[in-house]
Structure formats: structure tokens, C-alpha cells
Amino acid sequence: MRMATNKKLAVYGAGAMGTVLGALLSKTGQDVTLISRNQAHINGLKEFGAKIVCSAIGKEWTIPVNAITPDEMQDKYDVIFLMTKQRENKKIVEFLLPYLTENGIICTTQNGFPERSVAEVLGKERTYGAVLTWGATFLGGGGTELTSDPSAMRMQIGGYENDNSKTDELVEILSPVGKEVGSENFVKRTDNLAGVRWSKLALNSAFSGLSVVTGLTFGEIAKKRKSLNLVIDILQETLAVANASGVKLEPMQGKDMQKLLGGGKVSAKLKGFIILPFAIKKHKKLVSGMLKDLQKGKKCEIDYINGVVVEVGKEFGVKTPRSQKVVEIAHGIENGLYEISYRNVDFFNE
């Protein structure tokens, strides 16, 4: 174990994904604190350490960590990784301000486009974003399930409308994690954060959105013809909206979705049916975190995922009927009108 940097780090929102990242940073010898409002989870982390169960490869880690609740915070941090739901970003960032060093930054790993709400409080120059392409399921009591193959874990990091002055520092902090999990390309700098965000949003809108309304894993969605057909439609809708807004999409997991799905409809469908089931293979056990929220009777973040595609599509005159239907069904489930079921794919034929 070695100290990768001398920076003081915090993971605020140590749930499923945050526990994985915080524990792995701890394993590399870094000074990192995991912070969560879930007292039972914090108690488990303190007593037993972070238990990461990787269902994708049948491996487990138990890693000693420093864990506290928000009301126990006293230190100031150089980097805070923000890993909460983004509905309360303004309130949370205002709370975190006193716990940042003078030049401290927040790096948000949330889905959608969370940087704007962070920057409105913190300022653009101290706001960074990280796009994660791996998944986890919260177990509680100090435990979390890593549902992606560790070798396929990726992060792309960039500044939000700033000079990227601390991006290389973030890459240095995170690079040792890749060595721990056997992911050669775990972290990568990007100078086109918007392009990476849109590429991830396309995948989230398709696979996470359909996981919400069907209750299926990403792998199950890719196996069924009807749902895979919808995946391709939603990906194409999202790419069309991104193109209309002038964003240059970045490759995701080594796949250039613009080349894969940007051609004619028939050609894209053929390529999608062949390539997508293989591309999702190392993440086949993933389910949407939004699905977990609905199963617990909570509101989900569908408006920040498929809802963004719909709203930006309206702004640029791009029709997004598949994404609109995902939003409608998800809200219908929230309001008790529908059940979570694969039968919901039939609503897309209406």
C-alpha cells in the first residue's frame, strides 16, 4: 500500500457507488473519508470495513475505511467526490462549502448534467465532473455489490467550463484504483466533458430507463428482441438531440456510438442487434439505481436522464417519443398507475 497523493479526500454520498470508490481509494493508501447520512451503513463501515461483493467475477473485498455521518464532519478537504442523488445539489453544495480547503474542488459523479447546479454555488473554476461506466447495488450495513467486471471499470474526468487545471491531479488520485482492480484504462482525462456526458446519457437513457420500467438487468434487456429494439431507438434519439445541440460525442467503453448508430435506421438496427449484447456483457448484471428507488417506494431521477433528452429535444426540434414514453411510464409507476414489468414494453406500441 502506498500514499498516491497527499490530498485530503472525501466521498460524500457513500451509498452503492460511493462505497466502492471510497473503499478502493482507501485500499490504495489515500487519506479518504466516506460520508453518508445512513447511520446503519456508517456503523457497519466503522465496525466491519467496506465489504464489496463483486457478483460479476465472484470475488469479495473487505477494506478498512474511515467513515462518518455529515454531522460528524470537522475537517476540510481538497477534493470532495459528490455521489448523492442530484435533486438536492444546491442545498448539499452549500452545506459542503465550509468543509473545502481554500482551493478545494468538488468532482460530481452524478448522472445527467449535474455540474451546472454545483457551479451555481461553488463557481465554475472549482467544479469538475466524472463520468462513471460501472455499476453497484447498495446492500447496507457496510456492504455493496459491484455488478460490473472490475476490468471494465472506467472513469472520464474533466473541468466544467474551466481551464481543467486540476484534472491531471484528479487523474493522479484515481489512477492507483485501476491497478487495484485490474483496469488498465480506469481513469482518463477529457477536454470534452459535455461530449462524454452525452455519450453516457445515451446509455443511461436506453439501458437505465428501460431497466426502470421493465425491472430487468442490462443483460436481460439486451437479450430480449423488443427491449433491445427500444434500446437502439432511444440511443438514436439521444444522439440526434446531442448532434442538434452541437455536441461532439466521445467514445464510451471504446465504442463510438456515432459511428455505430449514426447511419440509416436499418443499418443501425442491424449493427445494434449484433454489437450491443456483446458490448454490455461485462455489465450484464447491472440494474438501474432508479429501479431500486422505485422498488423502495421513492421518487426516481428519470427527469434528469430521459427527461433531459426530451427537454433538450424540444429546444432543438428533435422528436423523442421513446424517451418521452419512458418518462411517462416511470412517473406512472411512481404514482401507482403501473407495475414494474416487462409487459410495459407494449406501451411503446401505442
User: Contact 161/119 with Cβ under 8 angstroms?
Assistant: yes
Whole-number pLDDT of residue 184: 87
Q: Is 337 helix (H, G, I), strand (E, B) or coil?
A: coil
> Mean pLDDT score of the chain, rounded to an integer?
93
Average pLDDT rounded to a whole number, residues 225-232: 94
Look at 161 and 138; give whichever has higher pLDDT. Answer: 138
Whole-number pLDDT of residue 56: 86
- Which helix (H) or strand (E) covers residue 331, if one does? helix 321-334
Look at 260 and 58; give whichever has higher pLDDT. Answer: 58
CATH number of 8-191: 3.40.50.720
Q: What is the dihedral of CA 147, 148, 150, 153, to 10 degrees?
A: -130
Query: Which residues neighbour 270 within 8 Å (Cβ) at sequence distance 6 or greater?
Result: none
Structure confidence at residue 169 as a pLDDT band (50, 70, 90): very high
Q: Is 321 helix (H, G, I), strand (E, B) or coil?
A: helix
142: left (phi over 0), alpha (psi -120 to 50) or beta: left
The per-residue pLDDT for range 108-156, each reduced to its tens digit, is 999 999 999 999 999 999 999 999 999 999 999 999 999 999 999 999 9
The per-residue pLDDT for range 235-288, each reduced to its tens digit, is 999 999 999 999 989 987 677 777 777 666 667 777 778 888 888 888 898 889
Report how far residue 177's alpha carbon sits from residue 193's, in angstroms, rounded to the nearest whole number: 21
Average pLDDT rounded to a whole number, residues 187-214: 95
Say what the pTM is: 0.89
Report how far residue 278's alpha carbon sits from residue 122's, in angstroms, rounded to the nearest whole number: 41
Yes or no: domain 195-349 corresponds to CATH 3.90.1150.10: no
| Structural domain boundaries in the chain | 8-191, 195-349
